[in-house]
């Protein structure tokens, strides 16, 4: 009778187990768990009977089957959690998604404990892998949630401030993508300050101006004083968040407010009729891009005469080791050392300012000072007082001088053009075109090309009109000669002329006079570069000539398009050099070409290739630099996986890391 009872239990256990496995194989995991548990109940009864009867064989059989079934239950629970994770990753609301994923993570950790108790090593590996992926996805969704909220509430200061505080809490929670989160935090903080400044301009300052127009001068002055307090609070907030982009604008607003308070004081203390003698400075009048002072007469504004080779006495007290290094029809350029910090600088000073050159100088100040990129000459300081000047980064030579002293290969020339294009890509993204690219306006510092002289540049959205004056004839695009609309493709033409000149040592269009040069540019095809320089292959020949198509629509339509073709050409030679260096075990050269390939691909937004070469470069890095490189690799991987473009900040970070690695080989 007992034997029959045991057989009955074993048959039931086997039946439930087989039915459970069938459901398991069909991925009906909840039903499978229910059947596995019924089978375990039957085996537990068998185990109890065998223990009472001291039947070790039967006892062990029951124990083994129970262990197997428990492992199958854990497997089923794992797959259920995995499916829930997939569902949560696709929820429309990323906040719901990451909240649910946090619950899934907790379930995985509890499952991990159970798997350890059962010594289910295979499942433990899968759980660990899924925990890591889920933590990354949770962190990614948290950042996605913040980003979506930022985009939805882009004009709501209160919500943005709350969102920034929320981001700081999330920063403490996440393990991955902290660099991405900090980028977003900077974006939010930047927007908050921008909105605060806009509100100050449109509300407080506008109110003060309205009171002035109503001749309520005392009230106007008090509102301006409140505006100054508000501005100081904004400045403190910007300092706290380490946002420097608005430094000039805040300083200029402060100058405006202080000047208007001074003028209102003059009105309140004056016995004259104020409306005839004093006007307040309007925000629209200065556009807050240039430092403003009490207006001067033209006689006061014109620089005083000084020896051509000497720095004007108004500036001389700030500099030492002064030397005149260049002079054109519009300005003189000096190199000097700034006394306060011993920084070598270049100082550009207009020779004289009539209304036309004055307008050009102010335009250059407005545009140039707003640019911040390694392939653009950096402006350190500028002013119109005590005399107009621009203080800027000191470079080694212009492109003309550089090419006289250096014999560059076609690869080196192509990489030089690629990096000039990188600077153009940056300004084009801001709606700015240069319009006067030529070797004289390309400066080099430590071999890095930097675009200079932005006096003829313009913001495309502001105007579609063109003028003949200013640009250099040999480098003029057909649309400039015809006085048609200029855009980014005008800069691409001029870069093509430079490219042609560097690779052939000739200009593509010549002439004995201006009219002949113009006619050749408009009507003649340039001699193919490869016919002048046989080292130029078909690929490079096509790239150069595409830049020089007469019709803008037949040229590259963006600098990035040009860079992608240049990158294909350059990668062939870089890969060949990398392969040679690996074969000869010249690891410093291997690291060098890996670095070039990383930067090349990051700049054309090819994250997949950049990720690959970062992985290679890790083998040549040590210590802290290796850690930085691993973080860079993760940042690029995140963007590739989420189809996010590579931002300039990542390129800049990569340049710093690669520079450190190269220095390590030199030391």
Instruction: Give the pLDDT band (50/70/90) at residue 405.
Output: confident
**Mean pLDDT score, 555-563:** 95
Write a three-state SS string for 145-213.
Answer: HHHHHHHHCCCCHHHHHHHHHHHHHHHHHCCCCHHHHHHHHHHHHHHHHHHHHHHHHHHHHHHHHHHHH
Instruction: Answer yes or no: do 99 and 201 share one domain.
Output: no
Looking at per-residue pLDDT, the higher value among 499 and 270 belongs to 499
The whole-number pLDDT of residue 34 equals 96
**CATH for 311:** 3.30.200.20
**Mean pLDDT score, 430-447:** 91
Q: Residue 350 has which token pair? A: 């207009």
Cβ contact 470:437 at 8 Å: no
Show Cβ contacts of residue 557 under 8 Å, excluding neighbours closer than 6 positions.
489
Residue 453 lies in a domain: yes
Burial of 655 (0-12, 13-18, 19+ CB in 10 A): middle
Instruction: Answer yes or no: do 328 and 431 share one domain.
Output: no
Report whether pLDDT(282) > 70. Answer: no
Residue 617 lies in a domain: yes
Residue that has been written with the tokens 């499916």 in this structure = 83
Which of 566, 601, 623 is the last residue before a domain boundary?
Answer: 566
Residues 633-660 pLDDT 10s: 999 999 998 888 998 889 989 988 888 8
Range of the domain at 328: 298-394
Instruction: Give the pLDDT band (50/70/90) at residue 175.
Output: confident
Q: Which of 622, 621, 602 is nearest to 611 (CA)?
A: 602
Residue 293 lies in a domain: no
Which of 149, 175, 200 is the last residue before a domain boundary?
Answer: 149
Contacts made by residues 78-85, CB under 8 angstroms, sequence distance 24+: 78/108, 78/111, 78/123, 78/126, 78/127, 78/130, 79/27, 79/29, 80/29, 80/30, 81/107, 81/108, 81/111, 81/130, 82/130, 85/130, 85/134, 85/137
Instruction: Answer yes or no: do 405 and 373 share one domain.
Output: no
DSSP state, residue 555: S
Residue 346 lies in a domain: yes
Looking at per-residue pLDDT, the higher value among 329 and 395 belongs to 395
Residue that has been written with the tokens 């009977």 in this structure = 49
The whole-number pLDDT of residue 212 equals 85
Residues 587-630 pLDDT 10s: 888 888 898 899 999 999 999 999 999 998 888 877 888 899 99
Sheet holding 331-338, edge to edge: 319-327, 331-338, 343-350, 389-393, 379-383
Instruction: Answer yes or no: do 524 and 404 share one domain.
Output: yes
Give the integer Cα–Cα distance in Å for 107 and 105. 5
Residues 49-105 pLDDT 10s: 898 888 898 999 999 999 999 999 999 999 999 999 999 998 989 999 999 999 999
Instruction: Answer yes or no: do 492 and 451 share one domain.
Output: yes
Q: How far is CA 547 from the centre of its chain?
A: 26
Instruction: Answer yes or no: do 137 and 244 share one domain.
Output: no
Give the integer Cα–Cα distance in Å for 125 and 128. 5
Q: Residue 172 has which token pair? A: 């403490």
Give the integer Cα–Cα distance in Å for 434 and 476. 12
Instruction: Answer yes or no: do 608 and 562 share one domain.
Output: no
**Mean pLDDT score, 577-588:** 86
Instruction: Answer yes or no: do 348 and 406 share one domain.
Output: no
Report whether pLDDT(342) > 80. Answer: yes
Neighbour-count burial for 38-68, b at 16+ CB within 10 Å, e otherwise: bbbebbebbbebbeeeeeeebbebbeebbeb
Residue 632 lies in a domain: yes
Which of 331, 363, 394 is the last residue before a domain boundary?
Answer: 394
Instruction: Answer yes or no: do 302 and 274 share one domain.
Output: no
β-strand 432-433 against 458-459: which pairing, if any? antiparallel
Instruction: Give the pLDDT band (50/70/90) at residue 288.
Output: very low
The whole-number pLDDT of residue 393 equals 94
Burial of 512 (0-12, 13-18, 19+ CB in 10 A): exposed
β-strand 397-398 against 442-445: which pairing, if any? antiparallel
Residue 176 lies in a domain: no
Report whether pLDDT(308) > 50. Answer: no
Q: Residue 399 has which token pair? A: 């492109």
The whole-number pLDDT of residue 131 equals 93
Instruction: Answer yes or no: do 46 and 82 share one domain.
Output: yes
Cβ contact 345:393 at 8 Å: yes
Average predicted confidence (pLDDT) for the chain: 85
The whole-number pLDDT of residue 588 equals 84
* Backbone dihedral angles phi then psi of residue 162, each to the nearest 5 degrees: -65, -40
Share of the chain above pLDDT 70, in %: 88
Residue 531 lies in a domain: yes
Instruction: Answer yes or no: do 388 and 406 share one domain.
Output: no
Residue 29 lies in a domain: yes
Number of domains in the chain: 5
**Mean pLDDT score, 330-340:** 88
Instruction: Answer yes or no: do 417 and 481 share one domain.
Output: yes
Q: Which of 497, 254, 283 is nearest to 399 (CA)?
A: 497
Residues 194-225 pLDDT 10s: 999 999 988 998 898 888 888 888 998 899 89
């Amino acid at each position: 009778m007992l034997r029959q009872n045991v057989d009955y239990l074993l048959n039931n256990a086997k039946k439930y187990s087989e039915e459970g496995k069938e459901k398991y194989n069909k991925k009906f995991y909840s039903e499978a768990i229910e059947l596995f548990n019924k089978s375990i109940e039957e085996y537990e009864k068998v185990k109890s009977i065998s223990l009472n009867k001291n039947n070790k064989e039967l006892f062990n059989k029951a124990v083994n089957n129970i262990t197997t079934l428990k492992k199958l239950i854990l497997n089923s629970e794992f797959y259920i959690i995995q499916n829930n994770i997939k569902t949560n990753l696709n929820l429309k609301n990323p906040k719901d998604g990451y909240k649910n994923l946090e619950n899934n993570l907790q379930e995985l950790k509890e499952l991990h404990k159970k798997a350890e108790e059962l010594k289910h090593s295979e499942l433990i590996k899968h759980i660990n892998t899924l925990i890591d992926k889920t933590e990354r996805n949770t962190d990614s969704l948290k950042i996605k949630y913040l980003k979506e909220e930022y985009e939805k509430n882009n004009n709501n200061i209160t919500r943005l401030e709350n969102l920034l505080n929320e981001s700081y809490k999330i920063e403490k929670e996440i393990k991955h993508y902290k660099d991405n989160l900090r980028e977003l935090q900077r974006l939010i903080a930047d927007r908050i300050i921008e909105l605060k400044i806009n509100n100050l301009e449109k509300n407080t300052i506008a109110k003060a101006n309205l009171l002035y127009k109503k001749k309520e001068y005392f009230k106007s002055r008090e509102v301006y004083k409140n505006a100054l307090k508000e501005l100081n609070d904004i400045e403190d907030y910007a300092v706290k968040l380490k946002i420097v982009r608005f430094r000039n604008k805040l300083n200029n607003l402060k100058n405006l407010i202080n000047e208007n308070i001074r003028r209102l004081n003059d009105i309140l203390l004056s016995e004259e009729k104020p409306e005839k003698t004093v006007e307040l400075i309007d925000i629209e009048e200065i556009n807050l891009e240039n430092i403003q002072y009490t207006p001067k007469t033209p006689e006061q504004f014109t620089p005083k005469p000084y020896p051509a080779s000497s720095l004007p006495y108004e500036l001389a007290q700030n500099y030492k080791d002064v030397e005149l290094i260049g002079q054109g029809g519009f300005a003189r350029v000096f190199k000097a050392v700034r006394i306060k910090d011993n920084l070598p600088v270049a100082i550009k000073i207009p020779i004289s300012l009539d209304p036309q050159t004055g307008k050009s100088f102010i335009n250059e100040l407005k545009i140039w000072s707003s640019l911040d990129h390694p392939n653009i000459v950096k402006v350190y300081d500028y002013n119109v007082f005590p005399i107009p000047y621009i203080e800027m980064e000191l470079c080694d030579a212009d492109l003309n001088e550089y090419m006289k002293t250096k014999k560059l290969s076609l690869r080196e020339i192509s990489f030089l053009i690629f990096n000039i294009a990188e600077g153009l890509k940056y300004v084009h993204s801001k709606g700015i075109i240069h319009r006067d690219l030529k070797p004289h306006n390309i400066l080099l510092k430590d071999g890095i090309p930097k675009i200079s002289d932005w006096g003829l540049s313009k913001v495309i959205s502001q105007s579609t009109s063109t003028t003949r004056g200013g640009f250099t004839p040999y480098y003029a695009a057909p649309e400039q000669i015809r006085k048609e609309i200029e855009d980014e493709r005008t800069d691409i033409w001029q870069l093509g002329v430079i490219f042609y000149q560097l690779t052939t040592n000739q200009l593509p269009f010549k002439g004995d006079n201006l009219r002949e040069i113009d006619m050749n540019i408009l009507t003649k095809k340039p001699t193919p570069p490869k016919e002048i320089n046989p080292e130029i292959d078909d690929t490079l020949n096509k790239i150069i000539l595409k830049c020089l198509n007469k019709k803008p629509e037949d040229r590259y339509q963006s600098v990035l398009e040009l860079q992608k073709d240049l990158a294909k050409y350059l990668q062939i030679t870089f890969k060949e050099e990398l392969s040679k260096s690996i074969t000869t075990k010249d690891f410093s050269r291997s690291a060098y070409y890996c670095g070039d390939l990383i930067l090349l691909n990051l700049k054309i937004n090819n994250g997949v290739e950049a990720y690959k070469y970062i992985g290679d470069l890790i083998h040549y890095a040590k210590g802290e630099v290796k850690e930085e490189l691993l973080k860079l690799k993760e940042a690029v991987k995140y963007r590739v996986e989420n189809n996010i473009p590579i931002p300039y900040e990542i390129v800049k970070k990569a340049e710093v890391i690669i520079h450190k690695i190269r220095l390590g080989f030199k030391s």
